[in-house]
Structure 1
Amino acid sequence: MQAAIDRIMETYNLMMGRSASATEDARAKVTDYVRTLFEAGERDTHRLTVCGLTYLRELDGSNDPVKAGYTGL
């Protein structure tokens, strides 16, 4: 689980270039999220990483399906 969190934060910081305080806040949130997934049975580091990155991008608004043109149809 820790390897996935470290990979998530490394990738997210490369994509977003955030401040140290924002990075610590994001790490705390994604740690809780990944822990929930891990406790639910997900053990694949790659899946945990992708889910964690998606979660952070949704939190900061950079992954908005409506803006990307997804209509659900």
Structure 2
Amino acid sequence: MDSAIDRIMHTYDLLANHTAAASAEARARVTDYVAKLFEAGEKDMHRLTVCGLTYLRELDGRNDPVKAGFTGL
């Protein structure tokens, strides 16, 4: 689980510039999320990584077209 979290954070930090405080907060949140997935039975590191990255992107609004400025025009 720790290697999945390290991989998530490494990839997430490459996607965008974050302050150290924002990165620490993201790590804490994704650690809780991945721990829940792990306890629920997900043991595949690759799936945990993808789920964790998706979770972080949803938190910061990158997956929301409205927050990203897409108007549909």
TM-score range, shorter chain: 0.7 to 0.9
TM-score by length of 1: 0.87
Q: Which residue of 1 aligns with 2:24?
A: 24
Q: Which residue of 2 aligns with 1:9?
A: 9
- Deviating beyond 6 angstroms after TM superposition, the runs of 4 or more aligned structure 1 residues are none
**How many aligned positions are there?**
68
Q: 1:47 to 1:23 in 2, by over 3 A?
A: same
Distance in 1, Cα, partners of 2:46 & 2:17: 22
Shift in Å, 1:63: 1.1
Matches for 1:27-66 after TM superposition, within 5 Å = 27-64=27-64
In structure 2, list runs of 5 or more residues that go unmatched.
none
Percent identical among aligned pairs is 69
Letter matched to residue 34 of structure 2: V
